[in-house]
Amino acid sequence: MTTSVSIIVPTYREALNIPELARRIDAAMRPTGHPFDLWLMDDPSGDGVERVVRDLGCSWVHLVTRTPPRGLGFAVLEGLRKAPGDILVVMDADLSHPPERIPDLVRAAEQPENHLVIGSRYAAGGTIDGGWSILRHINSRAATGLARLFTWVKDPMSGFLAMRRDILDRAAGELDPIGYKIGLELIVKCRCRKVAEVPIHFSDRQLGKSKMGLKEQIRYVVHVRRLARWKYGELARFAEFGFVGLSGVVVNLLVVTLVSDQLVRMGFAESARLNTAVTLAVFASMTTNFFLNRMLTFADKAPGHLGREYLKFIAVCLLGGVLNWWVTTRLAAGWKEITLGLQAAALCGVAAGMFFNYIGSRLFVFRTKRS
């Protein structure tokens, strides 16, 4: 039996591109003999897209005017669920993805060993229009670097992809995308171990306006964080706790420097200046760590009484500091003859203190699950 193909295209104010998109899809797919259809998943654009689709007069083009929640990821997800094809293709409406390469993606997706197929800008033979600025290249590479937490494919940010329906069914209702990078969501939650990359030429849009901006970039970072929590569980939360701790080091250094300089100008004695500056720096870093952990690391916990949580956090950190000191001094005493033994002991002490602080915060400070 011939494999059917459904092409899902999320749209928002893309009416100008639809006629050319449909024409090129038809020209690419009709010679293959595959039954195919196009699903335009429109977040209500108000740009006359309904009239455009009606004027096309193509029975294989379906327009779905969506209801909230809006967003590219949600639009694609709804399209994947509605479209009937055996092979599901996702692409953008702005003609940056060449419809002529759809048959190549379909052929690769039909291979049983391939769990997902990506139209790749960075695979051998892939190219990009020359109009990209240095900043855009940096943004693309930075986003790809974050995706290395989950996959080593060359172009995990591509929105041009194909997969078999049985692979999509692996997610079993777990798909919950944020923003526009649905491909990364599918790689992780559909457990795609083998991802094939088909080289494409990525074109700059000719009509309409790009939806990419700072807001979407922030949403991508949030998406990566959510995927890390889903895939790595408690280890991802512990890593966040560690990054917050590193920010506390920066706060500590700034406060100790600024306070010390101010006390020098005020004529404080050296011992009083040192003790005051270090004490204030320690409590300043603990305070910023507390609020960042409350907002980020343990954001899924129901907020308790702010004052009580803060005092508990300070108590946990002080105990962690004592543990850090005890581990460091004990190990350093036994590692006197080892090169950099003191430094190694200090690192072990820091690790022990941080682990204690995390467990204490997890079980004692921020312990109530958010309903």
State both tokens at 332.
């350093």
| In 160-233, alpha helices (H) | 165-168, 182-189, 214-232
**Mean pLDDT of the 282-303 span:** 84
pLDDT of residue 108: 96
36-40, 59-63, 86-90, 170-174: lowest mean pLDDT where? 170-174
What distance in Å separates the CA atoms of residue 130 and residue 141, rounded to the nearest whole number? 16
pLDDT of residue 343: 72
Domains defined along the chain, listed by start: 5-232 (3.90.550.10), 234-365 (no CATH)
**Mean pLDDT of the 28-45 span:** 93
State both tokens at 262.
């101010």
Q: Which percentage of the chain shows pLDDT scores above 90? A: 33
Residue type, 322: V
Query: Tens of pLDDT along 218-249?
Result: 777 888 888 888 888 888 888 888 889 888 88
Q: pTM score, two decimals? A: 0.76
pLDDT at 202 over 50: yes
Mean pLDDT across the chain: 85
**Mean pLDDT of the 292-303 span:** 82
pLDDT at 370 over 70: no
**Mean pLDDT of the 101-114 span:** 96
Q: Which of 102, 95, 112, 106 is nearest to 3 (CA)?
A: 106
Q: Which of 41, 7, 24 is nearest to 180 (CA)?
A: 41
pLDDT at 353 over 70: yes
Strands 161-164 and 87-90, bridge-based pairing: antiparallel
Q: How would you write 257-308 as a 3-class SS string?
A: HHHHHHHHHCCCCHHHHHHHHHHHHHHHHHHHHHHHHHHHHCCCECCCCHHH
pLDDT at 19 over 80: yes
Burial of 74 (0-12, 13-18, 19+ CB in 10 A): buried
Q: Which residues is 161 bridged to in the sheet? A: 90, 118
pLDDT at 110 over 90: yes
